[in-house]
Every structure is written in C-alpha cells, then in structure tokens.
Amino acid sequence: MKKLFVMGSALCVAMAFTSCKSQESAYKKAYEKAKAQDEKYQAQQPTQEAAPVVTPLTTQPATQTTVSNVDNATVRTEDVTVVSGAGLQAYSVVVGSFGLKANAEGLQSSLVQGGYDAQIVYNSNFNMYRVVATTYADKSKAVESRDAIRGSQYNPKGDAWLLYKK
C-alpha cells in the first residue's frame, strides 16, 4: 500500500512539472511577430538625414578676476603667549600645533630656512605650542598668506589656519 501511494505521488508530481512547461515554439512565434512589426514600422518611417548645424568659433579675450571673500574665513581666537619670535599682530597663520616644544622648534627652524618669520606661541589652556608662519594686522593679507602656504612643503596636509590673538 505504501509503495503504491509513493508511486502515485511521484507520477502526479512528474505530470505537474511537465504540463506547466512553456513551449519553445511559443517564444519563437512571439519573437517573429515582434520582428515583423518592427520591420513594418521601419519601412513606414521616411528616412531624413538631418544636416548638422555648425557654428563658427569666435575668440574672446579671457577676463579673469580673483574674488577674495575674507569675511567668511574661519578664525580661531585663543589667548597665547609668545615663546620664541618678535611678537604677534592681530591675525596669524598657524601651520603646526605640538605638545612638545622641541617639535615646534624643529618646524620653526625649517620655516625660517624657507624664508618665513616663524614664531612659537604657547596656549596654556590646551598645553599646546603653536607654530606661526606669518602674522599680519590685516585679515585679508593673513588669508592670502594662509592660502599660499597651504599644500606647500611647509604645510603638506593643507591644514593651516588663522589665529586671532586676544
């Protein structure tokens, strides 16, 4: 009885799988019909070749203006004391911050060799030595100096920032 039941179930499953299968000829017939419609549509369309429109080149003088918006420049305000250098003006360009004074002195010496009037200032709130490359009374000159030193050999990371002395 059990064998008969298993055989009957297997036969039903086999019939179910074979009866639901799509025929290849149905796909081929649909493909041929779509292809015929496409050919008919292409035959009805008039072929028009559009002539490309070419406009002559005109040369115009290049006008370049440099806009420097220093009002949006981010400035940090810190209370610092000068450790090494002539003294700070209102706006300074900081190129490095170090916890050890020896590291700050190393960067300062390389900046001095590069022609900068580098100074070291100390921020007691953060216990950090800041290396100042240039210092200016005018914010716009400080922004120009910061942009010039960013990406140079003295500031390869491009993280120079402006310091406003309290």
pLDDT at 22: 64
pLDDT at 120: 96
pLDDT at 8: 86
**Per-position b or e across 89-101, b if 16+ CB within 10 A of its CB:** eebbbbbbbbeee
Domain boundaries, the chain: 73-165
Q: Which fold has domain 73-165?
A: Alpha-Beta Plaits (3.30.70)
**Would you say residue 77 has pLDDT above 90?**
yes
**Average predicted confidence (pLDDT) for the chain:** 85
pLDDT tens-digit profile of 19-73? Answer: 666 667 777 888 888 888 888 777 777 666 677 777 777 777 767 666 666 778 8
Residue (of 129, 106, 128, 109) closest to 117 by Cα position = 109
Percent of the chain exceeding pLDDT 70 equals 88
Q: Are 132 and 121 in contact (CB under 8 A)?
A: yes
Residue (of 166, 84, 164, 77) closest to 129 by Cα position = 84
pLDDT at 33: 85
- Section 5-22 average pLDDT: 76
Please calculate the CA angle 66-67-71 and round it to the nearest 5 degrees: 150
How would DSSP label each residue in 72-114? Answer: G--EEEE--EEEESS---SEEEEEEEESSHHHHHHHHHHHHHT
**Would you say residue 162 has pLDDT above 90?**
yes
**Would you say residue 89 has pLDDT above 70?**
yes
- Section 131-148 average pLDDT: 92
